Amino acid sequence: MAGSMTEHPESLAAGGSLPAEQPVPEQIRRRTVGWIWLGVYALLAAGLLSLCLALSRTPGIQEIFPGKDFFHVALVVHVDLSVLVWFMACAGMVWSLFGRKVPTTTGAVAFWLAVLGTFMISIAPFMGADRPLMNNYVPVLQHPWFFAGLGLLAVGIVLQAFDYLRGVRLSFGAADFSDMVRFALALAALSTLAAVAAVIWTWAQLPAAVQGERYYEILFWGGGHVLQFTNSVLVLVAWFLLGKTSGSHAWLSPRMGMTLFALVIIPLLAVPWIYRQPVEVDGAFTEFTALMRWGGLMTLPLGIAIVVGFVYRHSVPAHLQPLRAALLCSMTLFAAGGFLGFLIKGSNTMIPAHYHGSIVGVTLAFMGVVYYLLPRFGFAIRQRRILYLQPYIFAGGQLMHITGLALSGGYGVQRKVAGAEQMLSGFHETLGMGMMGMGGLLAAVGGLCFLIIAISALLGDRIHRQPAVAGKPLVIDLRGT
């Protein structure tokens, strides 16, 4: 397993590679790589913060950190980078790859606005943004610099989603799996725009009397719940790509796949009904929670189909095992997070246990997609030993992390607190938070492994001057089984 992957330039793109149809233009390749770089930057910055977050809540170590202000400021930026920016960068990556054949000015503006916004968010603490608000979905630092960065990021994502929808071409008559993926990504773009529209509607309806943390909790509550349907579609797309590439049996037809993808976002038709009531009332909060909890079950049919395809998989060469490992670990974490979501009672650490499982499940899936794309774009992955182990290290650490959080939450340990505020009065609470800390450290190692693999590949010498695989033009084609 040791050694360089440069002796097999096709590496992860071969064996289970996709049949040739038409090459990806060089400009589209560059734009896609740009989105990969943005996601890698977001994870790098968030990973450094996650290490500090885990240590600042670990018994016996937490005392060396400067207090809750550090914890909360770091937590705000960590969440926004590792969830919002990383997921939207992954969306931009696949929207660019499966969208237009010729890049547009709109797409370029969208990308650079997202880059500028991300950079501003990441350095906001150093620009005097030190008043954190720990509202859900998009926690904020109360400073003009932070809000400007968040706004630029949002505009960039909206423009990229519009650009994809304007340029995508689908065939419903003789649909193949490429059409199915493009259709699914169109649904993801629509649900992203719906999430932004929900935030705008909420902002327009918010009473002036609502201030502080509750203001932002209400502002992002509806849109945040809608955006989870985007993430669900994206993770299913990533699972399909990883499964098909690593030998899973695609036993559903493309048309059936389209139907099941549409089923995932059907619950969003209830959003206008939820907004029949004032945005600040408890009823709206409760109904959005129910929408995500029960509407999320619409992912099960397609998720089960992908799992069945994974079980009845074909044999593949050893160099495709990292893609299969990423798929398996992603599905396991996503399922664990979904299960924990049904155990939530009150505001305790069961909540972060739930969303860390689901979020990291999505993250691992797109790490696998990056592993697939890099060699096909001509970037050599040299850390073969790390590549094989990374999905298991990352997933194993996160499973320990969420298990510790779930155990502590069962004994009433509150979320979003650190140090003495955690009130770890008993053995089980201390054990749970200790597991959380150790799991967080192991997951951080797994995340670091991904960053080493991706950054060294992106900064290394290109295998080919033009994107090619085994001497052929780069193709992304999903026809047939």
Q: pLDDT band for position 315 (50/70/90)?
A: confident
Residue 69 lies in a domain: yes
- Least-confidence region, from 115-119, 228-232, 394-398, 415-419: 415-419
pLDDT at 55 over 60: yes
CA angle at 100 for the pair 244 and 189, rounded to the nearest 5°: 70
Residue 480 lies in a domain: no
What pLDDT shows up at residue 433? 66
What pLDDT shows up at residue 412? 55
Between 158 and 19, the more confident residue is: 158
Mean of pLDDT values over 349-362? 81
Cα 172 to Cα 179, 255, 256, 326, distances in angstroms: 8, 8, 11, 31
- Whole-prediction pTM value? 0.85
What pLDDT shows up at residue 293? 84
Residue 368 contacts residue 323 (beta carbons within 8 Å): yes
pLDDT at 359 over 80: yes
Mean of pLDDT values over 206-225? 94
**Chain centroid offset of residue 191 CA:** 15
Cα–Cα distance, 152 to 304 (Å, whole number): 38
What pLDDT shows up at residue 48? 77
Residue 310 lies in a domain: yes
Closest CA to 111 of 186, 34, 191: 34
Residue 363 lies in a domain: yes
Mean of pLDDT values over 112-130? 90
pLDDT in tens, 227-279: 999 999 999 999 999 998 888 877 788 999 999 999 999 999 999 999 999 99
Cα 176 to Cα 173, 252, 290, distances in angstroms: 9, 11, 35
- Least-confidence region, from 22-26, 261-265, 308-312: 22-26
Mean of pLDDT values over 350-373? 88
pLDDT at 446 over 60: yes
Residue 29 lies in a domain: yes
pLDDT in tens, 136-195: 899 999 999 999 999 999 999 999 999 999 998 887 777 788 899 999 999 999 999 999
What pLDDT shows up at residue 241? 92
Closest CA to 398 of 337, 448, 348: 337
Residue 182 lies in a domain: yes
Residues 6+ apart with CB under 8 A from 273: none
Residue 478 lies in a domain: no
pLDDT at 461 over 50: yes
Query: Does the CA dihedral 223-225-230-231 come out positive or negative?
Result: positive
pLDDT at 19 over 60: no
Q: What percentage of the chain exceeds 90 in pLDDT?
A: 50
pLDDT at 468 over 70: no
What pLDDT shows up at residue 107? 94
Mean of pLDDT values over 351-377? 88
Q: pLDDT band for position 318 (50/70/90)?
A: confident
Residue 36 lies in a domain: yes
Domain harbouring 320, CATH code: 1.20.210.10
Mean of pLDDT values over 286-293? 91
Q: Which residues are paired to 468 by β-bridges?
A: 473
What pLDDT shows up at residue 350? 75
How many domains does one find in the chain? 1
What domain range is 114 assigned to? 5-473
Q: pLDDT band for position 460 (50/70/90)?
A: confident
Mean of pLDDT values over 459-470? 54
Q: pLDDT band for position 9 (50/70/90)?
A: very low
